[in-house]
Structure 1
């Protein structure tokens, strides 16, 4: 396997603008004003300046994203004092018994798509599945750790332009935990449930915590994920918030009808598994705070053929870490001699 990469479209496309409540493409100011002139027609000069500034800041953030993340991770590793050190290494005791049964079944050579359904809960949303992932005790300690980190003065990288509140789990030190969760436990499940997206395996991820609360991120605009498969696990205890349900529409590039959107209500400790290209959002939270762990799981073999964001053969740019899950091809010089 070569070095992990991003597609160059990461620096110009799918930039979320909160004022417009949509994602845009931006290569230069003239292109942007021409492409979105109808959408911008009713905006004031002050709004336009704010929009351009927001986009410029986001592009600058993306250019320095991976180097800045490494610096933060190093600083956190040196200075952060864990509240619950034992939870940073994955143990099966953290995982719900039903989830372990599901994983053990999916690991069997004779496991079938039909046979898995006594271990998962289907929803009324096409090809989305729910099941308990973590125990209640682990979710409690995990959330306490996240809040402890948030209360620290250490720098924090935020998940993306749509989620301005939350934590990047790799920076906090959960990279080994998440890697093992993806490889040993979620990989077999995803391979059985989504063979069209996981036929070659899931070899990278991006994992983060999102927070929705009054005064912070209240809702989530309609979008699709930069992932082959997404796992969304509810961490907040029952009764700690009201509102904030997810809603799902059509797949990317499929006909979409808002009247056909379907809702999903989070259950503590349960995850909902869905395809990354399945468009979704979150309704506004009404009271309290909702915390979820999000895992974007990626297959380089799938995305190396077509970038899920721009829809083209990816124009690769090598970066540190997992990047966006693309891989460059390296040549073994010894094999050529």
Structure 2
């Protein structure tokens, strides 16, 4: 059985593989062969129950806690939804799954939404569970690195091509930093204090601790690169054709996240059962604790799921500046909508 270290560590590597597939799928969409999204009635005595599917962007983990919570405690069902969760993994084609109608919803990151739209997919964010992105650089406490300004002379293990790297390079944080491939492990840090590793703050710090390392977690979000994470997305067609289903899904997911951030045990049990790739109960407990300040950075009275036009515009502008998308290829206002975050009048 693979360890949770492997599951968390290869996250960025495997997601990168989706882009070549997505590019091929765009040829299909352009030829007019895409399928319409359909929401069907469930095979129950209550015809008001509707079947929908949500595609995850990775193996089930704490980043999907709110969705698992609302399935486990019956919140979605109480709102008339029979929600099937499709676990992700290696090369999960999030945008094609939505565009082809095999899933009506998905979980992804805000920068991926911008990339999807720039490449022609009508993907729209409808709520964002995690306000501060968990992306970090992990260094040993005895490395001499106190902040990301101190990385000069270090060797960074990373997956090339990720947007956060382009940001760090553009801002000069990786000057005189030797960049090498990420080996899906923090093992090199055990023997070399000059090794830094890309990481998620909800996972790798615990793994380091379990290996006897005292580490420092340097959050990339504190530098200004902070796309929303654990974003619930759907398609423009779904919003236009089944707005009531979108509203119920958003409200149910917000409720799930509120409960998960308070008491994650039930959802973690479901995640543990669904993740067959070395996930542990201890890792889920740690991750859920780390999620609280990321999802509610302004405190426990914060409204979970909120999004702002300022944040989306800043992200689009940054990605244009970093030459990750072309100017005018995507508009911030098309990337998201907040109309389902408040009850209908």
- Give the TM-score, by structure 1 length: 0.24
More strand by proportion, 1 or 2? 1
